[in-house]
Amino acid sequence: MKNILVVPLSKSPHSLGRIGPIRWQDWFRGLKKAVSIGKKPKTKILVLSDVRVSGQPHEADIYSDALVKMGTVSFRVIRECYETIEQVNYSIDLALQERKKLVFISTFLHYPRVQWLIKTNPKMRLVQVKHYCAWGIPRPREAFTDLALMVIFPLIDFFGCRQRFIEATKQRRLSGKH
């Protein structure tokens, strides 16, 4: 049996702009789904984010704390990646390097873009990838962004602007914004 790496693709867990209790929020529901898959033998959850919002805890710390509270002991944190594209690419590279199967968990509004990123990754055929969807309450602002990117992102790729998009997102995140 091959080892499995479960990657809950991050959505901002910070309370600003969030609606409803944490247990119903999309980021938390994605993490719970990762935990349910992560209970299988030879499975490890990967928290992959270097996002910091001004005056707030590091995104990876919030995810880690939630995993600990859920009783999860088999996870690792890598403080890299500011955007979904980077998370998908990094995860695929890591799974190849460590010879592991890969399972992505994304929120329902994030799902189409993540599918696009998986399918367009040139190394995708070299690793076994599964992708599951988690349902929860999105932050309204992120819901709008995810809906827009469902349509716009293939156009960004068509015009060869993926790297420019990554850099713009990285600069925004480095300035301490969501």
CATH architecture of 4-174: 3-Layer(aba) Sandwich (3.40)
Average pLDDT over residues 142-154: 92
Give the CA dihedral 99, 100, 105, 109, nearest 10 degrees. Answer: 30
The answer to whether the beta carbons of residues 114 and 88 sit under 8 Å apart is yes
Give the model confidence (pLDDT) of 101-139 as tens digits.
999 999 999 999 999 999 999 999 999 999 999 999 999
Find the helix packing angle between 140-158 and 162-174, rounded to 10°. 150
- Looking at residue 157, its pLDDT comes to 92
Instruction: Tell whether the model's pLDDT for residue 1 goes beyond 60.
Output: no
- Compute the CA torsion angle 159, 149, 89, 120 (nearest 10 deg): -60
Q: What is the pLDDT at residue 32?
A: 95
What are the residue boundaries of the structural domains of the chain, listed by start?
Answer: 4-174
pLDDT at 40: 86
Task: Give CA–CA dist 60/51, Å, rounded.
Answer: 8
- Would you say residue 176 has pLDDT above 80? no
CA distance 45 to 139: 23
Mean pLDDT of the chain: 92
pLDDT at 149 over 80: yes
Comparing 18-32, 43-57, 83-97, 127-141, which segment has the lowest mean pLDDT?
Answer: 43-57
| Tokens of residue 40, six digits | 């299988």
